[in-house]
Structure 1
């Protein structure tokens, strides 16, 4: 895959899947906007990525922030060819016990963030003549998981929105796909393990979710995202590519 001089935005690029994705794009020649709500993390990743990358601070749930991000990228790079909507987070809770404010916050980042970033980047993606959007969904959108009602609902929305956008913008030369990761060894799960009273039991449970008996690596999901963003996947649009170590087959 060759992304030489391709203009790319990766949201949630300060850690985990987003970080691995942004670094891989940069390695393959892309000009990468490292977008994250954590400015320090974004700057650290941009430094790792080298001269082809720069940091952008953005809250994807905030319309003004997203418009400013898109404008900054266009000013710096002259346009946008690829948008990776990766920013998101998880939370515990069933419909019965999750607080309404927590539900709203998660939805505003995980789902509304995809809407806002796509909305304000689409004019430039259309101008590029070969625009690509890759959204980060989750295997849970297809199979569900206990005690994660808001997260599962948000990722179900991401998968559905991916298909809708693919149809809406196919005639404008924009392809829209999503990757659906399984449980990935990331700072989010590191925190859960470290804060547990029985860290080994929690780690065993996380590793045991997949038939492969391990969590995925951020770099493995990055490879899938880059394929969907590449010319090699030119016949794919509206696809949700599951990369979960077989978890959804159980």
Structure 2
């Protein structure tokens, strides 16, 4: 029987937004499993040791084409693309300028399109290619102060299904992971801004029926599950990694 680690040995992976938070954990998990991994981010600080640090902005198609193309050329193919790069926005439907809305969509949604377009010629050279998009529990759960961010993640989840339908006949599997509240530096910063940081953190924990935030490591492992070689039936799937937020209705 082939072990989980064996299914990743020598696979070539690209992770956008790999220098911090969830993306950093994804890079680390894939590297530890035996992948040759490149992070694409605005800088190199924070990229796990052993991974290739590529610098590009997902708002710049030419920069992505150059960075991903060079990495693909060096290895002859790309087996895994993880579209993780994204930014959050706190506010209601009345908050944010038109420029804010265009900027967040440009990064969170159009950025995934650009990275995928840059990677597809190299993914087509793989015998077992996988794309994993990073969605969010906000795509299907109404959370306060998340109108803009939720809109982008709803778009990501819908786009994932359409991408899966378009690419399945080429042997390229497309899926997404939908985390709950992940214990990242961004959430720590939000808590720190509150009048009572400890109470704010407890509020974030309480969103999940499990009573705890999701760890970045858990998200990385979910990405690996979908990206592993041989996962031929994982297509157009959403892994909800949200502590039961989407499925459970707990008594108050």
In the superposition, the TM-score normalised over structure 2's length comes to 0.93
Instruction: Give, in whole Å, the separation in 1 of the partners of 2:214 and 2:30.
Output: 19
| 1:183-226 superposed Cα distances (whole Å, 9 cap, x missing partner) | 01001101111222210121111011011111010001111100
RMSD: 1.2
Aligned to 1:208: 206
1:39 aligns with 2:37: no
* Equivalent runs, 1:150-189 vs 2, <5 Å: 150-189=148-187
Q: How many Å apart are 1:76 and its aligned residue?
A: 2.6
Instruction: Give, in whole Å, the separation in 2 of the partners of 1:222 and 1:72.
Output: 25
Instruction: Give, in whole Å, the separation in 2 of the partners of 1:147 and 1:40.
Output: 30
Instruction: Give, in whole Å, the separation in 2 of the partners of 1:193 and 1:161.
Output: 31
Aligned to 1:69: 67
Q: Is the 8 A contact 2:183 2:213 kept in 1?
A: yes
Q: Is the 8 A contact 2:15 2:38 kept in 1?
A: yes
Corresponding residue SS for 1:234: coil
Instruction: Give, in whole Å, the separation in 1 of the partners of 2:59 and 2:240.
Output: 25
Q: How many Å apart are 1:232 and its aligned residue?
A: 4.9
Q: How many Å apart are 1:140 and its aligned residue?
A: 1.1
Instruction: Give, in whole Å, the separation in 2 of the partners of 1:86 and 1:70.
Output: 15
| 1:100-138 superposed Cα distances (whole Å, 9 cap, x missing partner) | 111111111110111111111111111213211000001
Q: Is the 8 A contact 2:80 2:129 kept in 1?
A: yes
Residues matched between the structures, number: 243
In the superposition, the TM-score normalised over structure 1's length comes to 0.94
Corresponding residue SS for 1:40: coil
Query: After the TM superposition, which segments of 4 or more aligned residues of structure 1 sit over 6 Å from their partners?
Result: none
Corresponding residue SS for 1:95: coil
Query: Mind listing any 5+ residue stretches in structure 1 that lack a counterpart?
Result: none
Give the structure with the larger helix fraction.
Answer: 1
Aligned to 1:96: 94
Aligned to 1:3: 8
Instruction: Give, in whole Å, the separation in 2 of the partners of 1:193 and 1:4.
Output: 39
